[in-house]
A and B are shown apart, each in its own frame.
Chain A
Amino acid sequence: MMIELSDVYKTLDGRKILQGLNLSIREGETYVIIGRSGTGKSVTLKNIIGLMQPDRGEVKIMGQCISQMSKTESYEIRQKMGVLFQSGALINWLNVEDNVALPLTEHKRHLPKSEVVEIVRQKLELVELSHAGKRMPSELSGGMKKRAGLARAIVGGPKIILYDEPTSGLDPVMSNQINDLIISMQKKLGVTSICVTHDMSSAYRIANRIGMIFEGKIIEEGTPQEIKNTQNPIVKQFISGSTVGPLTQ
């Protein structure tokens, strides 16, 4: 297993967010986590990245337990991960090229500048953003910010990419472009992907498997087809977007 969460509990500000969450993700697959807002999707992601430590339970990345690691050890694991944040999370005083180059200029200081420029150019080309390298984050649209964030996430050659609501706030065309990029990342780079979203059309399109979080646990898991045909009333209500059902009781 590439990523494994076993019996993970997390409480924030007295609220029980994760309550015995179990999750296993195989190498090379795209796993989409769905669920209502505030059910712990982003908290799960942060536990996987190591930005949060679980109160109880284990988070294993490539067989190594990240929840019991020192900061330096977790840094080594994190260098094998790339994260696309909801807003792109670009550093606002650096232009797109410098943002994408940041992991290289910080950690691979021995690399000649020409090589860094070439790597950045390749990654920007991959996300179809070659023309915007000199632009500042404030001059980019929402979709461009996400693509720049994705270029930065893949610049270090990660084995795992995590996407936090990659299509939120985007128009349908841009959402599909991002979905295509996620699929192409999996195909071209062979990465394992975890995507947190509540955009069901996006989930069906990119996922190999979908898992739904409810009350801090995965309550249903399966292929997009299995999720579409589920008999679980909670999942059914969520994917149909109905206002009547167990989720709104």
Chain B
Amino acid sequence: MIAKLGKQIIDIFENLGFICRLFWATLKCYKSVIFRSRMILDQFFICGIQSLPVTIVVGVFTGMILALQSGLILKDYRLENYIGVVILLTMCKEAGPFMTAFILAGRVGSAMAAELGTMKVSEEIDALEVMCIDPVEYLVLPRMIALAICAPILIVYVNLLGVLGGAVVAKYQIGLEPVIYFKRILTYMSTYNLTIVFAGLLKGIVFGFIITSVSCAYGLRARNGAEGVGEAARQSVVYIFLMVLISNYFMSALIERIFGS
């Protein structure tokens, strides 16, 4: 049992090491960004544009849930006018980046791991290497750049939808007029330092890097046919969730410390 536990710990660190090495190897391919622009655009479409429908649902309902829960409490203290501000801050600082990362992990990360895993087991990655085409530059770089760009954009989109969803619940369930809801938001935005709000977008870039590095790392190491591909996709999603969760805490703490007061 101890040996099994030890092996699992070694595996975790081995995977982490491979993910970090892959991330570094991808960064070193920065000179090829222009040459790979077509593939980056393709990936941008797959990762970003095709994720829009699901983000609409997630964004709107996240805002609605937040409005409902915070609205009921704020109403008790006659502070319901501030629901919009609460939702704006929660969405921009935490819920927006977090929910977007989860959408991308489930929709894009698992697909990337499965796609690269299939390429690995069907010898397409070997074929690339034989043709002297670096799989990191050809496959990972376009995905990483595309996701690092589209994740912050999707976060802004989710944030906006969350605020709009919140306005609907504020009107119909809390009884707050949209004019007051948005007026409070605009007043807050013109009065306070909003760097902390936009710092949430930085999280999007980091999450984009995490999702691509983890899913591509698992895909590139897939073995044993279809079973191995499924395993790679499953493990990559679990790993991404954990890494997003842990890194989110540390980034939030850092952002609060730097921009918080």
Contact between A85 and B129, CB atoms less than 8 A apart: no
**Interface 1/0 per residue, A182-193 and B, CB below 8 Å:** 000000000000
How many residues of chain A have a CB within 8 Å of chain B? 23
Bound CA–CA A145/B112 (angstroms): 24
Contact between B132 and A78, CB atoms less than 8 A apart: yes
Contact between B130 and A92, CB atoms less than 8 A apart: no
Bound CA–CA A46/B129 (angstroms): 11
List which A104-124 residues lie within 8 A (CB) of chain B. Answer: 106-107
Contact between A107 and B132, CB atoms less than 8 A apart: yes
Given A87-B123, A89-B124, A90-B124 in contact, is the A102-B133 Cβ separation under 8 Å? yes
Contact between B123 and A86, CB atoms less than 8 A apart: yes
Contact between A106 and B124, CB atoms less than 8 A apart: no
Say yes or no: is B37 at the interface (Cβ < 8 Å to chain A).
Answer: no
Shortest Cβ distance from B44 into chain A, in angstroms? 15
Say yes or no: is B8 at the interface (Cβ < 8 Å to chain A).
Answer: no
Shortest Cβ distance from A157 into chain B, in angstroms? 13
Bound CA–CA A49/B133 (angstroms): 14
Contact between B130 and A81, CB atoms less than 8 A apart: yes
Closest to A155 in B: B131
Contact with A51, one of B119, B124, B126, B138 (Cβ below 8 angstroms): B126
How many residues of chain B have a CB within 8 Å of chain A? 13
Bound CA–CA A89/B133 (angstroms): 14
List which A54-88 residues lie within 8 A (CB) of chain B. Answer: 75, 78-79, 81-83, 85-87
Contact between A51 and B130, CB atoms less than 8 A apart: yes
Contact between A51 and B131, CB atoms less than 8 A apart: no
Contact between A89 and B132, CB atoms less than 8 A apart: no
Bound CA–CA A106/B129 (angstroms): 12
List which A223-239 residues lie within 8 A (CB) of chain B. Answer: none
Contact between B129 and A89, CB atoms less than 8 A apart: no
Bound CA–CA A82/B127 (angstroms): 9
Say yes or no: is B122 at the interface (Cβ < 8 Å to chain A).
Answer: yes
Bound CA–CA A79/B131 (angstroms): 7
Contact between A92 and B124, CB atoms less than 8 A apart: yes
Contact between B126 and A106, CB atoms less than 8 A apart: no
Say yes or no: is A91 at the interface (Cβ < 8 Å to chain B).
Answer: yes
Contact between B131 and A102, CB atoms less than 8 A apart: yes
Contact between B130 and A83, CB atoms less than 8 A apart: yes
Contact with B126, one of A89, A90, A102, A107 (Cβ below 8 angstroms): A89
Contact between B133 and A106, CB atoms less than 8 A apart: yes
Bound CA–CA A75/B130 (angstroms): 8
Bound CA–CA A238/B210 (angstroms): 50
With a CB–CB cut-off of 8 A, which chain B residues contact A91? 119, 124, 127-128
List which B217-258 residues lie within 8 A (CB) of chain A. Answer: none
Bound CA–CA A149/B128 (angstroms): 12
Say yes or no: is A103 at the interface (Cβ < 8 Å to chain B).
Answer: yes
Contact between B127 and A85, CB atoms less than 8 A apart: yes
Bound CA–CA A75/B131 (angstroms): 8
With a CB–CB cut-off of 8 A, which chain A residues contact B132? 75, 78-79, 103, 106-107
Q: Enumerate chain B interface residues (CB-CB to A < 8 A).
A: 119, 122-124, 126-133, 138
What 10 A-B pairs are tightest by C-beta distance, nearest first? A89-B127, A89-B123, A75-B132, A85-B123, A83-B130, A103-B131, A89-B124, A106-B133, A78-B132, A87-B122
